[in-house]
Chain A
Amino acid sequence: MDMPKIRVKLLAPDAEHDSYHVHLPTYTMVAGSLQPTIPDKTHANGVYPNAELTPAEKARLTVEVEVPTDECDEKGKLDIAKIRKKYHGQPRWDKPDVLSDV
């Protein structure tokens, strides 16, 4: 299946997630796509163990991901309406701000 590739935020662990993650219902991370590389803190495939990133550094982290075609518009960008319809009634994804952390 040919899936659109987009660059999105890589989110730091939080109350709900104990790992770095992407806030999308379905995606696959592209290996080697993490940006930016911060010496001794991040590299192309992740954040070094025990690295202490500042809030500003965490906010800059992005990765490339593949997402399902039926969650994107004709230009290959994420489509809120399509995502909400596909996951209709699911509290985590059927909400107006579903892409606010993406």
Chain B
Amino acid sequence: MGFAPRGGATARKEWYDRNPAVRFLQYSADGAAPHTDTERWNYTIPTGKKAFAEASELEIVRATAASAAGLVMCRVNYRPSGGIPYRLLTLRMRTNGVGDARLIQLGHSVTLLAGDALYGYTADQSTGGTMDYTETVKITEFDA
């Protein structure tokens, strides 16, 4: 009795060996005034590709006090191909102290298929004051 060898000449390569390409989605703004909900970046998986979202960092920091603090948000949405968007990561802050901050640093593995998309957003419903934002997702894209 013998054992069939693992793999072989026709074995499929691992995902990280199938023309991998690193993608960084990053929006960074300091001293941004209040604003309504705004999409800061968007990434759609090309046809014939898949991807893993491997790490994320969202951070909001109050830079100057508002005259009336409102809801400040930084978020990432995931939209499956042909579907509706779902919220994936969200930071919220309503406090008004200079230096007040919220932070997410996350290692994870979100599988993304062709046509799926990730979106980054910021919003600040305050009156006056400014905020610093960082919104980053690291992705590895590879042949499907």
Contacts and interface: CB of A to CB of B under 8 A. Distances in A.
Contact of A45 (B24, B35, B44): B35
Contacts of B117: 25
Nearest to B130: A45
Contact of A31 (B29, B82, B126): B29
Interface string B107-144: 00000001101000111111000000000000000000
B35 A22 contact: no
Contacts of A44: 33
A27 B35 CA distance: 20
Contact of A49 (B36, B39, B81, B82): B36
Interface residues of A, number: 33
* Residue of B29, B40, B114, B121 with highest tally of chain A CB at under 10 A: B40
Given A45-B32, A48-B33, A93 B44 contact: yes
Interface residues of B, number: 37
Contact of A19 (B24, B26, B81, B121): B121
B124 A49 contact: yes
B105 interface: no
Contacts of B54: none
Tell me if B's interface is mostly helix, strand, loop or mixed: strand
Contacts of B81: 90
Contacts of B38: 19-21, 29, 45-47
B41 interface: yes
Contacts of B47: 86-90
A33 to B, nearest CB: 10
B36 A90 contact: no
B42 A22 contact: yes
Given A21-B39, A46-B33, A28 B26 contact: yes
B27 interface: yes
Interface of B: 22-30, 32-44, 46-48, 70, 81-82, 114-115, 117, 121-126
Given A18-B37, A22-B42, A29-B27, 15 more contacts: A1-B23, A20-B36, A25-B42, A25-B44, A25-B117, A27-B42, A29-B41, A31-B29, A31-B32, A32-B29, A43-B35, A44-B33, A46-B33, A87-B46, A90-B44
Interface of A: 1, 13, 17-22, 24-29, 31-32, 43-51, 86-93
